[in-house]
Amino acid sequence: MTAPIRLAVIGMGKIANDQHLPAIAANPDFDLVATVSRSGEPVGDLPLFPNIDALIASGPVVDAVALCTPPQVRRAIAATALAQGWHVFLEKPPGATLAEVVTLENAAQAAGASLFASWHSRYAHGVEPARAWLAARTIQRVTVTWREDVRVWHPGQEWIWAAGGFGVFDPGINALSIVTRILPRPFFLEDAVLDVPANRQAPIAARLNFRDDAGVPIAADFDWRQEGPQHWDIVVETDQGILRLADGGATLTLPTGETPTQADGLHGEYPGLYARFAEVIRAGTSDVDVAPLRHVADAFLRGKRETVEPFVE
């Protein structure tokens, strides 16, 4: 495929409007042809459909869809799109369960379509230089602090507190997507504590302890109750000093004080995601890494649940 990829965006919430639409508009590989949402306004003169079945029935020519819906409902929509032979971009997390993502990957292969499980934080400017620098060092300890105010970043999003909504792991999985990318060895969960509000199904905070194959400890502190300054930081202690990733991976500081960034010329995480989506479509491949989701699943499997005060927005 060499012509622009005709794309429909499904799920026109905050992330679609704030991140997806600007990235699509700036990428000549894509031509936005329709949007799908149960509510909201059309984008310019483009048609707006209430669901994917209405999109299919209307007959617009579509090559690919970007799914920005909550994860609990995404599998059925993605399966329908793949059955049409459409390429599928999955907003993070790629699904509500590991099994459904594997099922979608198999469906994409059977349909000859591309499936892209996106992890936007991996496209932050400091991530790839951090990965390259750590590859030649001995890692001694990793500390992750991901603390933000849910009222600021996810106002009114009730689905996120329901079963399958991930709770604090919605931002926490961003940290895990970076750590699984920059560390040279796989790691596993040893123990976790999940703070679950008395009136919710999903945790508002989590403390996790991992260890890699060489015995290196990795500690993560995720919290949605942070007021004041927000923290999205990863600190890696090595035999040659401390590497720091701040601002969700956007700012890398090496022990020398250097602050290198990736040299691909992209500005922002979502432009990088759409460049990668176009790449896998044109190559006829898929990009589905479930490592971050696997660690979240392990936290729910092994984590100790502690009931905390109700959360009222």
Supply the residues annotated as catalytic: 92
HEC secondary structure over 112-141: CCCEEECCHHHHCCCHHHHHHHHCCCCEEE
Q: Are 240 and 232 in contact (CB under 8 A)?
A: no
DSSP helix/strand/coil, 268 = coil
Long-range contacts of 47-53 (CB under 8 A, 24+ apart): 48/12, 52/10, 52/77, 52/80, 52/81, 53/80
Q: Name residue, tokens 């996120």.
A: 160
- Burial label, 3 (beta-carbon count in 10 A; 0-12, 13-18, 19+): exposed
User: What contacts 100, CB < 8 A, 6 or more positions away?
Assistant: 75
Helical segments of the chain, H only: 14-15, 21-25, 52-58, 74-83, 98-111, 127-134, 150-153, 169-182, 269-283, 291-302
With contact defined as beta carbons under 8 Å apart, do 235 and 243 qualify?
yes
